[in-house]
Structure 1
Amino acid sequence: MQGNESAGLMPPLHEQDPAPVEDSPAAPIDDASLPAAPPPPGPVAPAGGASRYLERDELEWATTTIGTVSDAFDAKVVGQERLQETLLVALLTGGHVLLESVPGLAKTTAAQTIAEAVRGTFHRIQCTPDLLPSDIVGTQVYNQGTGRFDTQLGPVHANFVLLDEINRSSAKTQSAMLEAMQERQTSIGDRTYRLPDPFLVLATQNPIEQEGTYALPEAQLDRFMLKDVLDYPSPAEEADMLRRIDSGVYARPPRPVVDLDDVLCLQALTRRVYIDPAITNYVVGITYVTRHPADYIQARLASYVQFGASPRASIAFSSAARARALVLGRNHVVPDDIKALAHRVLRHRVVLGFEAAADEVRVETIIDAMIAGIRTP
């Protein structure tokens, strides 16, 4: 049990009091009985005497810059605060995002607005069953004038790429995106081409229409740092949207508020946001529980889990939590950052069996139970 305690985990159920009846609510957790997190070491400055963590002026500049991008987003997109946070986190980390919602909830508008705000290039790819890998990454075309093959780069070569309804493309086309998303390069012929920096993929899928779709393989799902599920706007937000349309807000030309160099600087500052070792243990504990759910959550819920999260989940938690802290004006990560990101980091990495769908058990319910099985540092 020593390894579990260092990660802030609860003792396994078979070492606790007798488990409650499966159909009854989970027993309350007594924090006093849980193992304490190890004391954090003091900040360590790198060689040369330079501070590893954010200085006050750096934090103020980052907060102001992020605020201008947020204002540009608010000017075009009504509501969708969590989507805004998701896109900002992805922008600051260089991670990719999978968005799931019914049509018409401003996914394309949101992605294009962020791209325009930072003066980045934006390409939208409508995925269809007949879409070929060369339609995305590019191809070689014979030039009769020169007698040589010229390379034409595909639309994936942009700072922001929106893959609309990615699950409508074939498995071969989906796999073509793996190299671009992970290696940040494409291969055309015998040459490789680097993608621009920053590079961000926003993929969307429609949960309603499943006919003529191809489920994304787990290997590709794991490449997405976050998966967000969007909901309908409130009546007040929808009325505000109509008023903005009447006032001509959406007809005005976009105005960049920062440039790509600022984005690269923000990404560098994000990597220097402080994350305490106790919170690192907390993250590792969460991913550990996803792999061994039977020891930490009720047997009825644990039986639905087929596979837990890979180490990419821990990496995503750490990077995304740093970005969220910076978006909220902090130079350090707090446990609430991890909890706020849990659904977005884990919902596409925790694989449930078909019994969960038959019993209408949502993956978010399982994740909440896992979080409840770990002591908050």
Structure 2
Amino acid sequence: MVVRRDSAVGEQGPTGANKTAKATKVSDPSAAENPARKTTAPAKAAPVRKAAPVKKAATARKAAEAAEAKAAVTRGAPSTRRKVPAVKPESRTALVRRARRINRELAEVYPYAHPELDFENSFQLIVATVLSAQTTDLRVNQTTPALFAKYPTPEDLAAADPQEVEEILRPCGFFRAKTKSVMGLSKALVDNHGGEVPGRLEDLVKLPGVGRKTAFVVLGNAFGRPGITVDTHFQRLVRRWRWTEATDPDKIEAAVGALFPKSEWTMLSHHVIFHGRRICHARKPACGACPIAPLCPAFGEGETDPEKARKLLKYEKGGFPGQRLKPPQSYLDAGGIPAPPLGAAG
């Protein structure tokens, strides 16, 4: 092996640049003669720096864009990533128009709407209305003929034997409490109103067993004074129609009353209650056979198939409570829209 020592003086290369020579071990003698043939070990490659995790960055970017889009929708500003249609709240004017149109449609469907309790005078109406709590009007109508035949006036009912009255009212349910109410209101009528049913709201609500709902039934149907009857059907439907979000009957009465002229309140109550008993049921509303489906924000909560929805209607199940007429088989027209029975009185 030949050892070559270069001088420490810089040697001029082809480009004129100085090179610093170092002692080099040469294994091949020819390599000493010809530097071009000198072999060296390959240099190690420099470590490659890892790039930032693209997947994590993309995920973070998508999350940021989604948050921005959500914030934009919340603010009502247009989103730069995705346009999400925001639900516009209904204006007061639009709500009034829709509510009144629903009432007009129901008036055409139920022109015969009326109180479904049988009565001949205001005393019978107020007693029947008190008895209708927690039971059906049909059951009340099956019970009151015997009651009024035996006790036709407030004086008679006030002086009756409670046990005999309880026996008559037993089919209505809660017969003991109802006996106490009807006998108490009869006594109050005799003692405070000369045996006559008063025609003022403030006097009616003071009678035992009489609340605002019962009072408005009596005022609207016995005295012709407008009133809104907020029963369970009325509460359910006006909330489905988004006329109000209130749950308290008094607040519902005030909210709905503000949407309609006072002269329409009584018939409005009949229309809504009729519809709730026949089509817009609590558990299985017949959406597919509903005449106001295009106006109902809750469409789809019930059966939407027309044929299946028709089977849910309660027109011919026992006829109409409070009506002698039973609807004919052609009660529904070809389009599945309820039509009034032939010969029905207005």
TM-score past 0.5 threshold: no
Higher normalized strand content (fraction of residues): 1
Per the normalisation by structure 2, the TM-score is 0.25
State which structure, 1 or 2, has the greater radius of gyration over its C-alpha atoms. 2
Per the normalisation by structure 1, the TM-score is 0.23
Return the structure number with greater relative CO, CA threshold 8 A, min gap 6: 1
